[in-house]
Structure formats: structure tokens, C-alpha cells
């Protein structure tokens, strides 16, 4: 009623414009997109090859793998938890799937389902332990990171699983368009679906409520434990999918698949405005964040910066992004 009455007057128009601008800044993705545009322009000016077809394809390809995990991690962060074991889970699922297809000689589809099952199961375990036993997600999933790495060695005996059935190589080698394959297609579809779920569905809204304030969510009748466990399972399953896509891409169940991804993924989604405190951020933001991180890494390579400095740049960007997130929360979302 209030806003409808105001809308007519010019002062109100100016005010609502200002409000809309503030609202725009408050939307995490816009800031990251602007920053990314600047960075792309910067790298391109220094080295036009940065925007070569080959480089763009390389960036998008890498983003498709970690991006799949970033989708799950974003959902989990929105629900107020996070998972450090995603890289290990990706690697473990890949080698388990590879073993099922080779050593156990099961059909490729069973192997894939087995891999996803491993990821989902670990997610379930992480979720149950965090929610029911009250062990902080940091500890539980850090523990799972080590357990997963150990299990990879146990399953493979330290050797990559090779060769894989021809069907797997076909999945990895398919060029759908612009040299991008199934992993990129899956990534895009999953990102759009997950973004829609968080933005538009009751499930998504309840997820934000759970991450925003668990007690309030519980009081309005939301089964917060189920939501958190569900988010853990989702991130586990998506990690498994990402791991298997890398396996298909490499044509072998390598033991180093997924190693080091956990921090890249968290850094990326946080850069994209997903809050580590829970209850804020979108899949679109998280995905754009991880894209930006990869743009920076690639850009620094292309313009010939020493690799040590690349690491430093990633660190600086992440800290800056979290700083911005905190400022943003204080001024636009802010709680007590």
C-alpha cells in the first residue's frame, strides 16, 4: 500500500531508483560480474590471446568440473554448513567407479551409479554426524578429506585404474559444441536447475531459512536436520559426478583426481557472494565466482606471471571477496 502510494511522485521515483541500485549491489552476482568483466578486459589488453578460442575453451572446461561441485557447495553453504571433503569424494568416487567397471567387470552404468552412490553415502555420513552428533562440519569434513584420500590409495593400491571401457572414453571425448563436452552440459543444466530450486521453490526458501537461523526455521515447522543432511548428500553426489567426468576426460581413474579442489571450490563460491555464515548467496553467484577465480588463474598464466604469484593472487582475491561479503552483510543484509 505504502509503496504503491509513493510510486507516483518524482521524489519517490528517485528514492526507489536508489533503493533499486542498492538492491543491485546487494545482489552478490552483480559485483562479481563487474569485477570479472574488468579482469577480462585487463588480461585481454595485456595479451589478446587471452580471449582466444582455445583459452576460453580451456577455462570453461576446467570450470565445468569444479563448477559442478560448486553448485553443491553453494546449496550446502546456504543451508549453513560446508564440506571440505569434496575433492577426496570426487577422487574416491572416480576410482571406485573405475574399479567397478574394470576389476569387477560390471557395466559402465552400474559403475557410474556406484560412484554416485559412494559420493551420496559419504555426504549422508557427513550430514548425519554433523547434525546428530553436533560435530562441527569443519572437523567432520576435514576428517573425511583424509579418510577419502586414504581410501583412494586403499582402493587403487596407488596405481591409476587403466584402461577404462571404451564407453567412458566416449563420454569424455564427445564434442557437443565449441569443443565442450558432456561435463559442461551437465554443469550448465545442473546449475540452472539448482539456481531455480534455491530461488523459486519451497525447498529453496526453507534452505535459506535453515541457514539463516536454524532455531527460527525449526519453529516455523521446517525439519532443519533433514535439509542439512539433504544438502550434504547433494554435495557428495555432485562431487562424485565431477570426479567421474574428470576420469572420463583423462581416460583413467587417476589417484590425484579432485586433490586440492575443496579450497578452490569454497574460495570460488565465496568470491561469488555465497556467505560462509549461511543463508545467503545464489548458485548463479557461486558459479560466477568460481568462473572468476579461474579467469584470474588463466589470465595470469597467459600474461606470463610466475606461478608463485598466481597463488598469491588467488589468496588475495578470496580474502578481498570475503571482506566485501562481510561489508555487504553489514550494510544490506545485516542481522543483529
Partner 1 sequence: MSNASPQKLLSATAIAKNFGGVQALRGVDFDVVAGEIHALLGQNGAGKSTLVKILNGVHPAGSYTGTIMLDGQPVSFASPADARSHGVGYVPQEIEVLEQLSVAENVFAGRTGLGDGVLVRQRRLEQRAGEIFADLGIDINPRAYVASLTSAQRHLVMIARAIVMKPRVLMLDEPTASLSGTEVDALFAVLRRLKAQGVAMIYITHRLPEVLAICDRATVLRDGQVAVRIAREDFDAETFIFSMSGQRLQRLFPEHAAPVGAPTALEVRHLTVAGHSGAVHGARDINLSVAAGEIVGLAGLLGSGRSEILHGIYGRVHAEGEIRVAERPIAVRSPSDARAAGIALLTEDRKRDGLLFNLPVGANITIGNLGPLSRNGVVRSGVEKSSILAAMRALNVKASSPQASVTHLSGGNQQKLLFARVLMRAPTVLLLDEPTKGVDAATRHEIYRLVVELAEKGVGLLIVASELEELIGLCDRCLVVADGRIVDEFGRGEGGEDRVLRSVTAAQAERQAMASRVSS
d(CA 269, CA 286): 4
Applying CB under 8 A, which of residues 203, 263, 312, 320 lies at the interface with partner 1? Answer: 203
CA distances from 87 to 152, 331, 334 (A): 11, 34, 32
Which residues, at least 6 apart from 20, have a Cβ–Cβ distance to it below 8 Å?
Answer: none
- How would you classify residue 282: left for phi > 0, otherwise alpha for psi between -120 and 50, otherwise beta? beta
d(CA 2, CA 235): 42
d(CA 9, CA 48): 49
| Interaction of residue 219 with partner 1, rule CB under 8 A | yes
Applying CB under 8 A, which of residues 157, 215, 260, 304 lies at the interface with partner 1? Answer: 215
Shortest spacing between CB 334 and partner 1, in angstroms: 5
161 phi and psi, to 5 degrees?
-85, 120
Shortest spacing between CB 189 and partner 1, in angstroms: 18
| Interaction of residue 18 with partner 1, rule CB under 8 A | no
Residues 253-292 binding partner 1 (CB under 8 A) are 275, 278-280
Neighbours of 52 (CB within 10 A): 13
Per-residue x/- track, 103-142, partner 1 (CB under 8 A) = ----------------------------------------
255 phi and psi, to 5 degrees?
-80, -10
Interface with partner 1 (CB under 8 A), residue total 35
Neighbours of 193 (CB within 10 A): 12
DSSP codes joined into one string, 131-165: HHH---HHHHHHHHHHHHHHHHHHHHTTS-B-PPP
| Interaction of residue 216 with partner 1, rule CB under 8 A | yes
| Interaction of residue 335 with partner 1, rule CB under 8 A | yes
| Interaction of residue 2 with partner 1, rule CB under 8 A | yes
Residues 63-102 binding partner 1 (CB under 8 A) are none
The piece of 30-38, 63-71, 197-205, 302-310 that touches partner 1 (CB under 8 A) is 197-205
Applying CB under 8 A, which of residues 153, 174, 201, 256 lies at the interface with partner 1? Answer: 201
Per-residue x/- track, 294-333, partner 1 (CB under 8 A) = --------------------------------------xx
Listed residue (81, 68, 93, 214) closest to 142, CA to CA: 81
| Interaction of residue 23 with partner 1, rule CB under 8 A | yes
Applying CB under 8 A, which of residues 157, 220, 304, 306 lies at the interface with partner 1? Answer: 220
Query: How is residue 233 written as a grid cell?
Result: 548428500
Q: Which residues of the shown chain bind partner 1 in the complex (CB under 8 A)? A: 1-3, 6, 19, 23, 200-203, 205-206, 208-209, 211-213, 215-223, 275, 278-280, 332-336
Amino acid at each position: 500500500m505504502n509503496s504503491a502510494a509513493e510510486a507516483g511522485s518524482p521524489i519517490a521515483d528517485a528514492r526507489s531508483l536508489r533503493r533499486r541500485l542498492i538492491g543491485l549491489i546487494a545482489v552478490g552476482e552483480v559485483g562479481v560480474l563487474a569485477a570479472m568483466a574488468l579482469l577480462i578486459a585487463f588480461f585481454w589488453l595485456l595479451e589478446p590471446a587471452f580471449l582466444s578460442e582455445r583459452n576460453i575453451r580451456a577455462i570453461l572446461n576446467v570450470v565445468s568440473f569444479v563448477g559442478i561441485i560448486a553448485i553443491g557447495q553453494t546449496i550446502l553453504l546456504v543451508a549453513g554448513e560446508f564440506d571440505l571433503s569434496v575433492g577426496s569424494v570426487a577422487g574416491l568416487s572416480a576410482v571406485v567407479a573405475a574399479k567397478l567397471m574394470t576389476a569387477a567387470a560390471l557395466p559402465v552404468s552400474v559403475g557410474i551409479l556406484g560412484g554416485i552412490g559412494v559420493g551420496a553415502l559419504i555426504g549422508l555420513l557427513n550430514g548425519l554426524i554433523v547434525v546428530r552428533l553436533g560435530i562441527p562440519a569443519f572437523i567432520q569434513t576435514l576428517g573425511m578429506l583424509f579418510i577419502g584420500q586414504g581410501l583412494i590409495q586403499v582402493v587403487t593400491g596407488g596405481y591409476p585404474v587403466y584402461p577404462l571401457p571404451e564407453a567412458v572414453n566416449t563420454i569424455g571425448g564427445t564434442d557437443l559444441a565449441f569443443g565442450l563436452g558432456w561435463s559442461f552440459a551437465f554443469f550448465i543444466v545442473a546449475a540452472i536447475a539448482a539456481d531455480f530450486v534455491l530461488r523459486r521453490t519451497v525447498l529453496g526458501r526453507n534452505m535459506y531459512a535453515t541457514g539463516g537461523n536454524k532455531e527460527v526455521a525449526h519453529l516455523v515447522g521446517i525439519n532443519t536436520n533433514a535439509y542439512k543432511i539433504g544438502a550434504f548428500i547433494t554435495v557428495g553426489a555432485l562431487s562424485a559426478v565431477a570426479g567421474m567426468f574428470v576420469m572420463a576426460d583423462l581416460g583413467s581413474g587417476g589417484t590425484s583426481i579432485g586433490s586440492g579442489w575443496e579450497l578452490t571450490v569454497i574460495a570460488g563460491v565465496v568470491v561469488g557472494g555465497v556467505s560462509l555464515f549461511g543463508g545467503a548467496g545464489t548458485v548463479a553467484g557461486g558459479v560466477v565466482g568460481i568462473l572468476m577465480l579461474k579467469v584470474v588463474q588463466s589470465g595470469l598464466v597467459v600474461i606470463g606471471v610466475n606461478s608463485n604469484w598466481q597463488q598469491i593472487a588467488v589468496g588475495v582475491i578470496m580474502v578481498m571477496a570475503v571482506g566485501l561479503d562481510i561489508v555487504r552483510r553489514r550494510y544490506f543484509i545485516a542481522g543483529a
